Amino acid sequence: MHQVVLGLGGNMGDRLSLLDKASKLLVQKMNLEKASSIYHTAAWGGNSQGAYLNQVLVLNTSMKAEECLNFIQQIEKQLGRKREVKWGDRTMDIDILYFDNEIINTERLKVPHPQMTLRNFVLVPLVEVLPDYIHPEFGKSSVELMQACEDKLKVKAWQEG
C-alpha cells in the first residue's frame, strides 16, 4: 500500500457539496486515513475570482502514482472541472501533494507538489493532519514549511452560514 496526500479545492458551484462528492469518489478506490477540516481561502494566483474551500486528505492506495493521477483527474472531470485557464476558477482541483516519500519528476507528474510550499491554503490543512511529516526534498516538517511560507492570504476554518 502507498500513502497519498491529496489537496482538494474549488471555488465554483456548491463548493461544500463538491468537496464531499470528491471525498466519496476517492474512497471508492482508496482508504481514508485522515481528513483535515475544511478551510475557506482567498483565490491564489491571480486568475480566479471567488473564494475557495480547501481540504487535505491522507489516503492509502494500491495504485501507483500515475494510476492515482489518472483516477483523480477522472474525478475532477466528473465533477465538472474544465482546464481552460491556469490557476483559474474551477469546480474541483485535486493535487497529489505527497506519494509515500517519493520524489517524482515526469512530464505529467511532479511530487512533492512543486507549489505546495508557497501556498498557505495547502500548508494550513496539511499541518492539521501531518504536522511532523518531513518534505522529502527540503527536509522540513509541515510546521516548518508553514512557518517559512511567505503567502499572506487568509486561511480560516469553514463555518457554514
- Count of alpha carbons within 13 angstroms of residue 33, beta-carbon side: 13
pLDDT value for 86: 53
Which pTM value belongs to this model? 0.91
pLDDT value for 140: 97
Q: Are 69 and 45 in contact (CB under 8 A)?
A: no
Compute the CA torsion angle 127, 101, 20, 84 (nearest 10 deg). Answer: 100
pLDDT value for 73: 93
Q: Under CATH, which number does the domain 2-157 receive?
A: 3.30.70.560
What's the average pLDDT block by block, 10 residues per block, for the chain (161 residues)?
A: 95 89 96 96 66 94 96 90 60 92 94 92 96 96 95 82 48
- Residue 35: alpha-carbon gap to chain centroid: 11
Q: Which residues are tagged catalytic?
A: 81, 90, 93, 95
Distances (CA, A) of 16 to 1, 2, 39, 159: 29, 27, 10, 11
* Residue bearing cell 511560507: 149
